[in-house]
Amino acid sequence: MTPVGSVDDGTSVTRDGALPDVTYDVTVVGAGVVGCAVARELAARPGLRVALVDASNDVGDGTSKANTAILHTGFDAVPGSLEARLVREGSRLLAAYAADSGIPVEPVGALLVAWDEEQLDALPTLLAKAERNGYDAARIIGPEEVRSREPHLGPGALGALDVPGESVICPWMTVLAYATQAVRAGVDLHLNCRVNTVDAFDGDVRVLGTGRGALRTRWLVNAAGLHADAVDRLLGHDDFTVTPRRGQLIVFDKLARDLVRHILLPVPTALGKGVLVAPTVYGNVLLGPTAEDLDDKSATGSTAEGIATLREKGRAILPELLDEEVTAVYAGLRAATEHDDYRISADPGRRCVTVGGIRSTGLTASLAIAAYVTALLDDAGAGLPEAGDLPPVRMPNLGEAFPRPYQRADLIAADPAYGTVVCHCERVTRGEIRDALAATVPPGSLEGLRRRTRARGGRCQGFHCGAVVRELFERGAELGDR
Amino acid sequence: MVDVLVVGAGPAGLAAAAVLAALGAGEVEVLDREPRAGGTPRHCHHGGFGPLGLEGPGFAERWVRTAERSGAALRTGVTVTDWAGPLTLDTTSPHGLERITARAVVLATGARERPRAARLVPGTRPAGVLTTGELLRAVHVHRQHVGTRAVVVGAESVGFAALDALRLAGVDVAALVTEHPRHQTSPARALDARLRRGVPLLTGATVADILGRGRVSGVRLTHRDGRTAHVPCDTVVFTGDFVPEHELARRGGLLLDPGTKGPATDGAFRTDRRGVFAVGNLLHAVEPARAVAREGAAAGAAVRRYLAEGDWPSASASVPLRVAAPLAWIAPNLVTPDEPLPYGGRFALRTAEFVGRAPLVITQDGRTLHHARLPRPPVPNRPFHIGGDWAARVRADGGPVRIAFG
């Protein structure tokens, strides 16, 4: 029961320079929620040399940072699909993991609100589907109950499917917890490290050409998300094409939080999926996403049309929401493929596992995907050592449902830096910023610091604290450049 | 327990505290969440704060000294986090958590600019997008590198203050952009920017798209007539568009005015909660610091009167004032009939658009209370003022008072 690996300060997270001159047993390409979860799972195998690489300067910087932050039950998955199974398993695993590691989760439940007869008629089918997916807590409720449970809802709700098991979660802290645990257990995390080429095998080792030079590895896990098809082609496969599906979202200020109690999901119909309104664990309210199929994998900009569409739909769902201040508009790209299901497969000959087509459910399913991928590696002959235990992690709390450092007399008494509020809108203290800068996986940018602490993420967007936070970031980077 | 707790040590809060302490209101405590007292003027390194070109930091320092000399207790680095009772507030500071009850609470939490997100400006989310508030602190306090070439959005006075800060930081300004047909500052200042500094003013234009990843690479502008332009830059400064910093007022459930989005107050700075006053740019984002300090002093006198006499109008005794577009707001926005208007009976108003010489008409239930042309046509993003004689004719049993251009 001894912890695997050791904390390897200073060398295990790199952002620049040449890569270490070692041969990795397994290299995971892509440090999103799936790649980090896989790296964490592999980190539990003692003696295995694992690299986790990403093109970006931070973990979770692609699709994983711009989703709807929901911990799904999997009630609406395609019954019998791999996705349905992994979401169901992953949901339980992640809920337990979040509780252990301090990732904020709020079990607010979801209501799929029917606004017209077609949607109302679709509810029994959805209920039956939930039951086929092994989820039997859902039920259909009438308009009066909908109204009493969501008093600020716009007029016209005809009923809803009540799915009490749906939760909101901090997607960002989930990725960071996986990465932190992996790195502490000995995984080398190499950022700013895009994989450009894959050489043929020399013996059982092949060389990946990266933006930071050669990386030698025996096995490879392709968890490159939006770019999983491109990496797959480097490996000689042509199984799927990722068509980025842009989802624009609007985040409303914390003062809007009292307007909504549940995740308000749209009822999918032939006319397409609507948008959702959901609380976030940070105490904001989310409206979105749009669904736009694009060609450009870098088109993460929001558009006037997208914002206008969301506002129009949001006004019908929760009219008062539109009077509140917006703290962020962002767009994420979901890694949609031409296939209905996840595309997870091993190629023992090429010594790789591809994890493709992980859509918006990837966050929920991540731990189950990681276990599945590891089993595939084992079956493919990677010869992984027996799993040991990982040292537990405890992440800083960003959730408003739990005491934040500025509210904790015990923390402030022990260290007054937790009583020095730097970012006023989000109540982020100097102590939290300092901790983030000194953490196992420190931020590579102010955006990364924002995701780790919420600093500059509130309604003023840095009007008050922007310059101070930048000062702390730059000083922190000087002091402990890792 | 203190006699008066003032939240916010800007000009309004400091002036109110100074007057209260000087009038012998007892224990007067001013809290500010920033490490130093003085409020927004601390970062405004330009004249306009008093005679002989007094600049913001000097002005702030002067009010800090005045408040301290008069006997008010100033505590900085203390954040008021929430209400624990009608006149009780919870705070956080490096010394821990504290719960403070007062006989009267004065909210003077000020205002801020609305950032890019709140303005719903589309595009990517690169670094290099900021507000004037952040810019001034970055340049004057932290001496940070800001960028090399900026686009400034907004042409009210604060936009021109942003130009000065950018020049000091060695940043070229590609353009000043305003959706309005004209700038909204003094002609001399606008002329200086255009002729001496060569900064073009693009009117009738909005930022349609922010471009770049990692760092801003440019903006796409749309003109009212449909033309678009791409302007390369690495910095975008959103200026003006001030809103009250009203979080504490809202958390306390105070009635807000739909126009100002600050607490609804009468001429004696009284909110709808007995013992809770509000003053300064929390009520009208924004008026100049000097006007705000004068108002703070008037509020101090009003609080003193309440502490001595205990009078508070019932909710039904106050009549709301409602503006019609293009008017954006009026402050104060409640009239309590038969009560004096301490602040010289002066009302501040704001228009959202340029309007001509139409008269301002004030009515209650169809009855005209006031009908007069303004001495000068009002300008958006700048306050204009009217006297308060008409307020004496407001009937307590009547409906809301309507204020519109006739």
Can you give the pLDDT at residue B338?
79
Are the beta carbons of B36 and A468 closer than 8 angstroms? no
- DSSP letter string, A193-254: --EEEEPPPBTTBEEEEETTEEEEEEEEEE--GGGHHHHHHHTT------EEEEEEEEEE-G
Q: What residues in B contact A461, CB-CB < 8 Å?
A: 115-118, 131
Check the CA dihedral A409-A413-A414-A418 and report its sign.
positive
Please state the domain count of chain B. 3
Using the Cβ of B79 and the Cβ atoms of chain A, whether some distance falls under 8 Å is answered with yes
Asked if the model's pLDDT at residue A425 lies above 50, the reply is yes
Can you give the pLDDT at residue A335?
85
3-class DSSP assignment, residue A56: coil
Nearest to B117 among A328, A446, A447 (CB): A328
Are the beta carbons of A302 and A309 closer than 8 angstroms? no
Asked if the model's pLDDT at residue B201 lies above 60, the reply is yes
Q: Which residue has the tokens 């997870």?
A: A344
Using the Cβ of A326 and the Cβ atoms of chain B, whether some distance falls under 8 Å is answered with yes
B230 with B155, same domain?
yes
Best of B42, B134, B135, B213 to mutate (most A CBs within 10 Å, chain A) = B134
The CATH number linked to A288 is 3.30.9.10
Can you give the pLDDT at residue B344?
64
B143 with B169, same domain?
yes
Q: What residues in B contact A425, CB-CB < 8 Å?
A: 247
Using the Cβ of A309 and the Cβ atoms of chain B, whether some distance falls under 8 Å is answered with no
A287 with A200, same domain?
no
User: Residue B141, exposed/middle/buried by CB under 10 A (0-12, 13-18, 19+)?
Assistant: middle
Q: What residues in B contact A466, CB-CB < 8 Å?
A: 130-131, 133-134, 137-138
The pLDDT tens digits of the residues spanning B122-169 come to: 999 999 999 999 999 999 999 999 999 999 999 999 999 999 999 999
- Residue B402 pairs with which residues in a beta bridge? B322, B363
- Reported residue count of chain A is 482
How far apart are alpha carbons B85 and B335 in whole angstroms? 27
What is the number of other CB atoms lying within 10 angstroms of the CB of residue A156?
A: 12
How far apart are alpha carbons B154 and B116 in whole angstroms? 12
* A202 is a domain residue: yes
Q: What residues in B contact A251, CB-CB < 8 Å?
A: 117
C-alpha separations of A268 from A32, A109, A316, A476, B129 in Å: 28, 18, 17, 47, 37
Dihedral of the alpha carbons of A286, B262, A149, A279, in degrees to the nearest 10: 20
Contact A326 B93 (CB under 8 A): no
A237 with A249, same domain?
no
Shortest Cα–Cα distance, A286 to chain B (Å): 14
* Pairing of the two strands A195-198 and A139-141: unpaired
A155 with A231, same domain?
no
* A32 is a domain residue: yes
Q: What residues in B contact A462, CB-CB < 8 Å?
A: 115, 130-131, 134
Q: Which of B238, B269, B303 is the last residue of a domain?
A: B238
Contact A467 B142 (CB under 8 A): yes
B88 with B106, same domain?
yes
B135 with B213, same domain?
yes
C-alpha separations of B72 from A130, B13, B100, B131, B265 in Å: 64, 11, 16, 32, 24
* A91 is a domain residue: no
Contact B243 A325 (CB under 8 A): yes
Helix extents (H) in B137-239:
157-168, 187-191
Residue A72 appears among annotated catalytic residues: yes
How far apart are alpha carbons B196 and B199 in whole angstroms? 8
Helix extents (H) in A380-465:
409-414, 430-437, 446-453
Are the beta carbons of A306 and A294 closer than 8 angstroms? no
A368 with A331, same domain?
no
Once rounded to an integer, what is the mean pLDDT over residues A253-263? 97
Q: What residues in B contact A421, CB-CB < 8 Å?
A: 33, 79, 92
B16 with B88, same domain?
yes
Please state the domain count of chain A. 3
Asked if the model's pLDDT at residue A10 lies above 70, the reply is no
For chain A, give the percent of residues with pLDDT over 70. 96
DSSP state of B61: H
Can you give the pLDDT at residue A392?
94
Shortest Cα–Cα distance, A471 to chain B (Å): 7
Asked if the model's pLDDT at residue A6 lies above 80, the reply is no
How far apart are alpha carbons B133 and B142 in whole angstroms? 13
B250 with B108, same domain?
yes
Using the Cβ of A322 and the Cβ atoms of chain B, whether some distance falls under 8 Å is answered with no
* Pairing of the two strands B2-7 and B28-32: parallel
The pLDDT-based confidence of B52 (bands split at 50, 70, 90) is confident
How far apart are alpha carbons A7 and A276 in whole angstroms? 41
The CATH number linked to A41 is 3.50.50.60
Q: Which residue type, as a one-letter code, is found at position A242?
A: V
Contact B124 A300 (CB under 8 A): yes
Contact B117 A424 (CB under 8 A): no
Asked if the model's pLDDT at residue A272 lies above 90, the reply is no
Using the Cβ of B93 and the Cβ atoms of chain A, whether some distance falls under 8 Å is answered with yes
Pick from A177, A62, A181, A76: nearest CA to A122: A76
Helix extents (H) in B327-376:
none
Give the residue on B whose Cα is nearest the Cα of A329. B117
The pLDDT-based confidence of A4 (bands split at 50, 70, 90) is very low
Q: Which of B238, B257, B280 is the last residue of a domain?
A: B238
A259 with A345, same domain?
no
B108 with B248, same domain?
yes
Asked if the model's pLDDT at residue A2 lies above 50, the reply is no
The pLDDT tens digits of the residues spanning A290-324 come to: 999 998 888 889 999 999 999 999 999 999 999 99
Nearest to B122 among A301, A412, A471 (CB): A301
Nearest to A325 among B118, B124, B213 (CB): B118
B331 with B274, same domain?
no
The pLDDT tens digits of the residues spanning B82-116 come to: 999 999 999 999 999 999 999 999 999 999 999 99
Residue B306 host element (H or E): helix B289-309
Contact B96 A300 (CB under 8 A): no
Pick from B273, B405, B293, B396: nearest CA to B349: B405
Can you give the pLDDT at residue B340?
67
Are the beta carbons of A231 and A79 closer than 8 angstroms? no
Q: Which of B280, B312, B344 is the last residue of a domain?
A: B312
Once rounded to an integer, what is the mean pLDDT over residues B197-204? 95
A315 with A254, same domain?
yes
Once rounded to an integer, what is the mean pLDDT over residues A5-11? 44
The pLDDT tens digits of the residues spanning A364-405 come to: 999 999 999 999 999 999 999 999 999 999 999 999 999 999
Nearest to A461 among B79, B117, B142 (CB): B117
Are the beta carbons of B99 and A305 closer than 8 angstroms? no
* A346 is a domain residue: yes
Q: Which domain holds residue B289?
A: 1-113+241-312
Once rounded to an integer, what is the mean pLDDT over residues A422-441? 96
Using the Cβ of A107 and the Cβ atoms of chain B, whether some distance falls under 8 Å is answered with no
Q: What residues in A contact B93, CB-CB < 8 Å?
A: 419-420
Using the Cβ of B133 and the Cβ atoms of chain A, whether some distance falls under 8 Å is answered with yes
- Reported residue count of chain B is 406
A362 with A321, same domain?
no
B247 with B109, same domain?
yes
- Residue B29 pairs with which residues in a beta bridge? B5, B73
Once rounded to an integer, what is the mean pLDDT over residues A190-198? 97
How far apart are alpha carbons A71 and A82 in whole angstroms? 17
A247 with A305, same domain?
yes
Taking only residues 403 to 442 of chain A, the set having a beta carbon closer than 8 angstroms to any beta carbon of chain B reads: 406-407, 409, 412-413, 416-417, 419-421, 424-425, 427
Residue B92 host element (H or E): strand B88-93
How far apart are alpha carbons A329 and A251 in whole angstroms? 6
Contact B144 A326 (CB under 8 A): no
* A45 is a domain residue: yes
List of E strands, A280-351: 285-288, 292-293, 326-336, 343-347
Q: What residues in B contact A447, CB-CB < 8 Å?
A: 125, 127
B302 with B373, same domain?
no
The pLDDT tens digits of the residues spanning A104-160 come to: 999 999 999 999 999 999 999 999 999 999 999 999 999 999 999 999 999 999 999
B231 with B248, same domain?
no
Using the Cβ of B33 and the Cβ atoms of chain A, whether some distance falls under 8 Å is answered with yes
* A396 is a domain residue: no
Give the residue on A whose Cα is nearest the Cα of B82. A407
Q: Which residue type, as a one-letter code, is found at position B165?
A: A
A300 with A434, same domain?
no
Are the beta carbons of A143 and A308 closer than 8 angstroms? no
Best of B92, B99, B217, B236 to mutate (most A CBs within 10 Å, chain A) = B92
Using the Cβ of B358 and the Cβ atoms of chain A, whether some distance falls under 8 Å is answered with no
Shortest Cα–Cα distance, A333 to chain B (Å): 13
| All residues at 6 or more sequence positions from A392 whose CB lies less than 8 Å from its CB, including other chains | A100, A101, A181
Q: Which domain holds residue A439?
A: 405-481
Nearest to B96 among A307, A419, A470 (CB): A419
Once rounded to an integer, what is the mean pLDDT over residues A165-177? 97
Check the CA dihedral A99-A104-A107-A111 and report its sign.
negative
A370 with A348, same domain?
yes
Are the beta carbons of B29 and B129 closer than 8 angstroms? no
For the entire predicted model, the pTM comes to: 0.95
The pLDDT-based confidence of A1 (bands split at 50, 70, 90) is very low
| All residues at 6 or more sequence positions from A343 whose CB lies less than 8 Å from its CB, including other chains | A239, A240, A337, A354, A355, A356, A357
* A397 is a domain residue: no
Strand order in the sheet with B228-232: B205-211, B218-223, B228-232
* A8 is a domain residue: no
Q: Residue B53 region, left (φ>0) first, then alpha (ψ -120 to 50), else beta?
A: left
3-class DSSP assignment, residue A17: coil
A127 with A255, same domain?
yes
Using the Cβ of A477 and the Cβ atoms of chain B, whether some distance falls under 8 Å is answered with no
Using the Cβ of B311 and the Cβ atoms of chain A, whether some distance falls under 8 Å is answered with no
Using the Cβ of B88 and the Cβ atoms of chain A, whether some distance falls under 8 Å is answered with no
| All residues at 6 or more sequence positions from A77 whose CB lies less than 8 Å from its CB, including other chains | A83, A84, A87, A88, A133, A361
Can you give the pLDDT at residue A82?
97
Of chain A, the end-to-end C-alpha distance in Å amounts to: 30
Catalytic residue among A72, A190, A227, A262: A72
The pair of structure tokens assigned to A326 is 């917006």
Shortest Cα–Cα distance, A395 to chain B (Å): 22
The pair of structure tokens assigned to B241 is 């568009």
Write the ipTM. Answer: 0.96
Q: What residues in B contact A413, CB-CB < 8 Å?
A: 96
A229 with A252, same domain?
no
What is the number of other CB atoms lying within 10 angstroms of the CB of residue B307?
A: 18
**Alpha carbon A458 to chain centroid, angstroms:** 20
Once rounded to an integer, what is the mean pLDDT over residues B222-238? 97
The pLDDT tens digits of the residues spanning A446-473 come to: 999 999 999 999 999 999 999 999 999 9
Asked if the model's pLDDT at residue A480 lies above 70, the reply is no
